[in-house]
A and B are shown apart, each in its own frame.
Chain A
Amino acid sequence: KNQVEQSPQSLIILEGKNCTLQCNYTVSPFSNLRWYKQDTGRGPVSLTIMTFSENTKSNGRYTATLDADTKQSSLHITASQLSDSASYICVAYNQAGTALIFGKGTTLSVSS
């Protein structure tokens, strides 16, 4: 069964701290995996896109990793800011493009 599971469901951290969000996926055959940031009341915005041959990809303070063998991905946020408060969504795609599986997201709250 194609599925994407994210953990934790929610997270609260202090401004300036780092955090790591997790994503486990089961999509076959795997094509690519994406992380999106969704601010409250807005549409998702892409942070990173990774194919099976990529292990790490960075976008500013965001670094995504991918382990295609264990089917796990993580999103690491460095030196968090208040504006990082949002839902972070992991999405896995299969090669046929017929399975576009969105995780339920991790809600991150950054407090001062």
Chain B
Amino acid sequence: DAGITQSPRHKVTETGTPVTLRCHQTENHRYMYWYRQDPGHGLRLIHYSYGVKDTDKGEVSDGYSVSRSKTEDFLLTLESATSSQTSVYFCAISEGEIAGAGYNEQFFGPGTRLTVL
């Protein structure tokens, strides 16, 4: 999985509790991404980062926040988890842009399965 780890790998939590998922990379790649994958949907981008402290929203960012204080770590926080946030969350990295002027490859982590009861 290209030097990407996600923690925890599985988590069960209750509605209304805060949850933080961690993505750690050892590749020193500039870009990091958080996606969610649900049955009947393709992967959907939540947030991404293009450098330390530089983040932007994706397609489904409501209810999520992110932080990146170090190149290697990208945190995804659910401030108050809801059942609709039950999903598999994938972190991804890329050395440069994946679209536009750049065609850099995107590498995905192993995923975190989150269940909100």
Contacts and interface: CB of A to CB of B under 8 A. Distances in A.
B63 to A, nearest CB: 20
Contact of B98 (A45, A51, A100, A105): A100
Contact of A45 (B41, B97, B100, B108): B108
Q: Which of B43, B59, B108, B111 has the most CB of A within 10 A?
A: B43
A102 B100 CA distance: 16
A64 interface: no
A: interface residue count bin: 20 to 34
Nearest to B101: A95
B46 to A, nearest CB: 11
A43 B110 contact: yes
Contacts of A46: 105-107
A97 B111 contact: no
What secondary structure prevails in chain B residues at the interface with A?
A: loop
B108 A97 contact: no
Contact of A96 (B45, B99, B105): B99
B72 to A, nearest CB: 18
Interface string B90-117: 1010000111100101111111000000
Interface residues of B, number: 24
Contacts of A68: none
A41 interface: yes
A42 interface: yes
B1 interface: yes
Interface in A60-112: 89, 91, 93-97, 100-105
Top-3 shortest CB links A-B = A43-B108, A102-B42, A93-B99
Interface of A: 4, 31-32, 34, 41-46, 49, 51, 89, 91, 93-97, 100-105
24 contacts: A42-B110, A42-B111, A43-B1, A43-B4, A43-B92, A43-B111, A44-B43, A44-B90, A44-B108, A46-B105, A89-B43, A91-B43, A95-B99, A95-B100, A96-B99, A100-B45, A100-B59, A100-B99, A101-B42, A102-B42, A102-B43, A103-B42, A104-B41, A104-B42
